[in-house]
Structure 1
Amino acid sequence: MSYPSGTYPVAGPLNGIKIIAFEHAWAAPYGTMMLADMGADVVKVEPPGTGDHVRAWTRNDLDGLSPHFLAVNRNKRSIVLDLKSPEGLATAKRLIAEADAVVENFSPGVMRKLGLDYDTLTESHPDLVYCSVSGFGETGPYSDRRAYDLLIQAEGGLLSVTGTDEESPAKVGTAVVDVLAAMVAAFSVASALRGKEALGQGRYIDVSMLDVAASTMAFNIFSYGLSGVMPKPIGTAHPLLAPYEVYSTATTPVAIAILTEAHWATFCSVLGREDLCTQAEFATAPMRVSNRELLNEQLRPIFDKWDGPELVDTLAGAGLACASVNDVAAILEHPQLHDRDFFSEWNVRGHDLIAPGAPWRMTGNAKQPQDRLPADRPGQHAADILRDWIGADSAEIDDLSARGALG
């Protein structure tokens, strides 16, 4: 889907904000997509050739539009700039001069070598908001190390508490640190833009994926500090509550979370096992945790007779916390997500796809702010971007292209 020059599909709170993103993969692109969903005009700078390298991560016939790329690049416009050429670098600087914010996730030091670092740019653009996202941050002994989501899950401790003793270390099944770091970046950029509006000054933001991962370990860190006991992986269970884990049923698995003694009593009543409440081994949450396996020996034969969805409906109907363990097909059919218009229908090169949407609702917006598809090819919007941002006419655009600035 294309839009006329100078028009935007989203009338969000960041409408009119210009953000230029020197980005690839997920750790920055997911965040700039959030900002684009909020209405910002996000220009994604891609390198010559294949563009963002994750475009090629595909086994289908959508060459250059992998699931990785489609997932984090809606509502952006794409331009190819050869930053190794004087003309391409000069064009990047002209675009930055018109931007409210820069977001980048190159390795630390790359932008400085190009003369596109915060200190250099703010000599002439003092109110610029600038966000760097990297594996370990811009400073420290690990700052020059390569980093990917798996590596930061490992370095940040997530792998040590995920899975079971028999299967650990286990990775979270999505690129969770990439996404969380990107969300932190988006929140930080939006906050800094508000500060710029109020104080008239820009900010430099340094987002470390390791910092983000370690911040998710806060409970484990405090628990270890207070008890001296090293947190260990316990599968889907909770260290302080039981029953609180995933159970098999006759059909599909079910997640159950009993937090209070009142809920425990209701749970036993619904299952027709009021006797469990009277057993000393299960009288309190700490006792149930200490006797977790004994408790599960009582519960498993009960759940084996239930249909999974029926068990969820029954427990939820009694006011208890529970959920089905859904796969992707079930998510696509989920009635709650459809009621909230979470999904959109995309047609990508003749393929009808269901696309996830922004994870919020906001008054004053359309139901889902995702009208512009990810750029079909690198540099798809170059001419419009150059016209809109720096007032280039067709002759200048042709000249920049001829001189190799546009890759």
Structure 2
Amino acid sequence: LWGFTVAVTAVGGMIGSLCAGFAADRYGLKKPMLYNNFTAILAALLMGFSKLAGSFEMLIIGRFIIGINSGINMGIAPMYLTEIAPVKYRGVFGTLGQLGVVTSMLLSQYVPKSMPYQKYVPHQSMYISKSLVYTHFFCIAINVAYIPRFLLVKMNKEDEAREALQWLRGSHYNSKEEMNQMSSEHEAGKDEQKTTIKELFTVSHLRQPLIIAIVMQLSQQLSGINAVFYYSTQLFLAAGIPQEYTGLTTVGVGIVNVIMTIVSLSLIEHAGRRILHLIGLGGMCVCSILLVVRNFFVSDRMLVISWLTLVPILLFVAFFQTGPGSIPWFITAELFNQSARPAAVSIAGLVNWLGNFTIGLAYPSINAEIGGYTFIIFAVLLAIFWIFTYFRVPETKGKNINEITALFQPDRGGYLGG
């Protein structure tokens, strides 16, 4: 039941991912981002009152609904950030989304353990208070700009698109060049119909980037990172860390998460997406091997060695945030034009959450059978993902959407990587 309760969020995430593409294509990005806060409020209230009602079903339903909310957010947010960002800062904007995620994770790990009133106020009140946070998010989202490209390309509202662009860039920004670029995409895509999910799999110049997007998402979820995030306490206990210190080490993982995301943020537009993803996958592969080797050295009578085995765990998290933590989400949005992006992001998000569900459900059973040797599986998968990234994933740094999609056109012979 525990494994199912953990994994049910991912089931909601799959449904939310499919809804994200439909909502983005039909209503744009602002409205789904705005009204999705209501699902989070409902989920927070269900989880918050589950103990008072004596209902574990309310907790499970709440986790399922928050999964739907997360699936929509993880589909909409990367598209929104990609759309509003100037080309030269698109990677930075994409990584900012991940920074928000890891900062929230750190707060959720640290705050409940540190607040002085935790002995007097039920833990469930933390869930209820989140409904107020989401209400605040709703009020903020009311004031965010509509996407200029959506207004121009999908709605054919040139004046409103220009106004939105000026709102985003500032009143003194010369929007002429960027408007011309969006207009050229608009003209090129005038005769294009909305791209269907079937076409993503059957049309060559769409299938190639879709495969890249899918594998990039799998490289995130099947890397083993959620084995660390979901079951960190069990992992630290298996390493020989005393029970009283496991909370501290979990917060340590959260701190590394935030620090390395900031490092990635500063490097993304200099090093590029591809090289950071390769470094991240390669480093995680080496750390996975070290996590297997550490099984030969863990001893209850050698506490120093137990603490030293934390090093590959922390490095594993650090390398994850170097590339695989954020890049798969926003590079998916970069690989497709306006007509294909919503459907592609939906499929990529579905695959991501499916991987999340698989690890959340399968890891406890596999770990019970082979223990720390589970990371042999992750090491092999990471090596496969590294090879794929090296040979098949293009560098998108500094390129506009038209230049990126042109890489996969038939007259270019398709992208061969390297």
Q: TM-score, normalised by structure 2?
A: 0.23
Give the number of the structure whose alpha-carbon radius of gyration is greater. Answer: 1
Q: Which structure: greater strand fraction?
A: 1
Q: Which structure: greater helix fraction?
A: 2
Q: TM-score, normalised by structure 1?
A: 0.24
